[in-house]
Structure 1
Amino acid sequence: MSLTLDEIKKIQKNFDQSHSVDGRSFYVSVGEEDAAYLEHMAVCLIGEVGEFCNVLKKVVRGDLSLVDAKPDLSEELTDSFIYLIKIANQFGVDLEAEFLAKVEKNKVRFKLEE
């Protein structure tokens, strides 16, 4: 299966808009008054990255093989991606445009030529 980033963003937005916990929607359009919610999502994102790192740490110290850990690593990386998409959706960040702009900025920074 191959999806565009825009399709993935729409799927996540539809999921978030159709779910709630204790009457609180999974989707909040983040504005100036919602900085605490944005912070919460950022902490969730970093928590998922931390879980990825924790599994990887177990591989490095020899508790797990990379092959055995890959399903858990894949899940934690996907959880991280979901929070990144949620933040972009709810904070109004155009990841595609920002990615392309950053690549151009990095070409100058690292003196890369096409």
Structure 2
Amino acid sequence: MNLKDLMEFQKDFDKRHGWDWSKADKKERLENLNYLAIALAGEVGEFCNLVKKVTRKFKSKGELPSEKEWKEMKEELVDIFIYVIKGAAELFNMNLEEEYFRKMKLNEERFKEFKSNELKNKKTCR
């Protein structure tokens, strides 16, 4: 299954549950975009909170995340992915695979300096 298939699966799921955004007018589309942004931020916040907790536990007690904690973090990442897929498919009607590779091509140029060996081990934030 590729991203296009996942996007179609998400559209079908949403239609079956009464969350079809594909026929929204411009006003509804903006309202849906607002909902999506807030929902996505909420899921990212939940993921970050879990990361904060396992990091704090590691720093204070030296304990690595448990299997349960890894599972919870994975669940939140999947929730984030679902909202990204939903937005790409239903609000932007975009080909996410094409857009991904287009953006990665730009990033390749943008971050070409980080290919050098002396910068290889530096931790950077884009």
Structure showing the higher helix proportion among its residues:
2
Letter of the structure 1 residue corresponding to residue 36 of structure 2:
M
Q: Name the TM-score, length of structure 2 as normaliser.
A: 0.75
**Cα contact 2:11–2:20 (8 A) shared by 1:** yes
Larger of the two Rg values belongs to structure: 2
Identity %: 38
Structure 2 residue ranges without an equivalent (≥5): 116-126
Question: How many pairs are equivalent?
Answer: 106
Q: TM-score, normalised by structure 1?
A: 0.82
Q: What runs of 5+ residues in structure 1 fail to find an aligned partner?
A: 21-25
Q: C-alpha displacement at 1:107, in angstroms?
A: 1.6
Query: Deviations 1:33-92 (Å, cap 9, x if unpaired)?
Result: 221211111110111111111111110110874233111001111011000000011111
Which fold has the larger relative contact order, with Cα–Cα distance below 8 Å and residues 6 or more apart in sequence?
A: 2
Of the three residues 7, 10, 17, the one matched with 1:9 is 7
Confirm whether residue 67 of structure 1 aligns to residue 60 of structure 2: no
Please identify runs of 4+ aligned residues in structure 1 that moved more than 3 A.
none
Please give the residue correspondences for 1:1-114 in structure 2 after superposition, counting only pairs within 5 Å: 3-20=1-18, 26-29=19-22, 32-33=26-27, 34-62=29-57, 65-68=64-67, 69-91=69-91, 92-111=93-112
Query: Pairwise CA RMSD of aligned residues?
Result: 2.0
